[in-house]
A and B are shown apart, each in its own frame.
Chain A
Amino acid sequence: MRDVIVFVEHSGGQTRKVTFELAAEARRLADALGGKAHAVVAGSGAAALAQQLQNHPLDKIHHTDDPDVDKYLLDPFVDYLEAVAKSVGPSVILVPNTMLGRDIAGRIAARLNAGLASDVTELRVENGRVNCVAPKLQGSTITTCAFKAGDYGVITVRPNAFSAAPKSTGAEVLTIEKPSGKSYKMAVESDVEEASGELGLEEAPVVVSGGRGLGGPQPFETLLKPLADALGGAVGASRAAADAGWVPYSLQIGQTGKIVSPQLYLAVGISGAIQHKVGMQTAGTIVAINRDATVPIGETADLLVVGDLFQIVPALTALVQKAKAAHA
């Protein structure tokens, strides 16, 4: 286990910040292990993205714009990743902990007969072994796992847990050969966007989340969106809000939704059930607005303001906008 491979998640060549975080982490690990840092980019737009990745501290960028990658579910991705992993030999594969990343991780681990560490927030090399730190049991325990040396290891990494470090190290750009003898069956007929712009919820520096306290879909648009915009962040939600159909499930934060680690998390009209906290408790600063002083979110928040969200949010948005205008 010497080289480190980053799986690059993207949509038509547009990638997410987590890719650059993984590139920086791959460099650090590869240096500690005495190996090389690779990236694998597949699908339409891969060539342009491979160029862009040259601004990050990698050694080899493997890419393919094979249209099968976008036409069929998962398997082509896994095939290309497997092809690169096999050409490199026992290595560490870093995958973002996103919906797609989790799917890829289980599959590539089975193909390579590798160990799998999930939702990792810290990585260390000790005595030549890669150690993975991850919160478990709904955040109540932090575990450190080590891979057996000499095997492949697959790691899903939490977005925002690491910092990007853009730097060109003259990475070589290579095309990957199509693995032979593959035929694909699960066809993607259509791809529907329900929440454009939410691609970056996991990596937004600020998340303004709303819960059942918002009472309906409109306040997400009229109250939360302007506040999120003013703070340079994204809107999220509790499961109660998604279940009610007020927002798409893609905005849901928590155990069954997205796990976010922004610098600032604002919980508006959210009680803070354990399943919700799992998705946001590692945020840098947590502020809650709730009319009930005894809500569980109070145990996780840094500041709990007790009052009516319909009064507080617009006033807060105005204050932030005013401060920004004064600064500009």
Chain B
Amino acid sequence: MSTAGFAIPAELDRDLRRFRTRSLMVGGAALLLVAAGAFLNPPQFFRSYLWAYLFYIGVTLGSTALMMLHHLTGGAWGLVIRRLLESASRTLPVLALLFVPVLFGIPLLYEWSHTDVVARDELLRAKAPYLNVPFFIARTVVYFLLWVALARLLNRWSLAQDRTGDPGLARKMSALSGPGLLIYGLTVSFAMVDWVMSLEPHWWSTIIGMLFMAAQGLSALSFIVALVVLLSKREPLRSVLTPRHLHDLGKLMLAFVMLWAYLSFSQLLIIWSGNLTDEIPWYLKRLQGGWGIIGILLVLFHFALPFALLLSRDIKRSTRTLAPVAGLVLAMRLFDLFWWVAPAFQETGHVSFHVHWLDFAAPVALGGLWLAAFLWQLQKRPLMPVGDPNLEEALAHGRE
């Protein structure tokens, strides 16, 4: 396979562009609806928006982390999807922009932003040095600066590697990825404390960072698997992607499904058995008034079913079967985040499951825009890292 063979052929390029335009149009239309919702029902708008946003930032940051993991450890699994991971990581500036509405929503989303509430609440007073609006915004800015910087550097070197094939660049990417993953781990943990945990400011759980890292990795992997299956119907990926590569990706997906379940169960068991007043309300809300059914659905379809399916070698090796599993997991990621975010705005003992029309419009709007940005980035480079010294080996790995 020659180097030029990995460039996106004209036909695929046209189709991708068409899809991109459509995605942008759908996203734009939904955005108008969402904007209308922002005037009709501002609190609901911000809740739906934050939830949808968490899903897309999860896919993006998960991709960035997987990209760094691949730079650090190598492996054929990462080389065949590296361009997809990189394209996702280059949407971070767009996501930074899309975070701006959340900043306007701080008073409606976060109880701790009201000085009168804080003044009445001893715990919130104690947390005020951390949970206050200026510091919240400053932290968010720092997170995005670090994420964008990491993604930019790694993408720039990857592009240079395409041109020169310089093996020193692979070493450079690997050297940055070690500290990069460390930065990712710390920033994501604190971002999730800020954006998610502080929705219920009395609650805390030390596992939240790891839980969200596992969840983001799973979201990213499921998205990439679904996409790589779609792309493998056409050249150049048709002659590259083999059952062996899918098998590796499927195994990784299985590992992330288990990791998510393990961390989620650990949190549940520890908080349930402790039954302490600061912690247990979080679960009480999420197990009452219809939310419990979502919880059971999560156990069944976020863990049990994908776990059972992914144990099978045949299911992991076939595009026809792996893609639906990836789709299922991706859908369940949305459910899971909804279960994390939506009950936060209800009072313990008065919770009831309900879905607003904005909960449908917001993910479509953000998804359309994000997907368009992703495809725009994807079209910019060949679909394989042509300058990587291990590419031949990775492709041969698939043919073995």
Whether chain B is bound by chain A comes out as: no
Q: Which residues of A contact B (CB under 8 A)?
A: none
Q: Which residues of B contact A (CB under 8 A)?
A: none
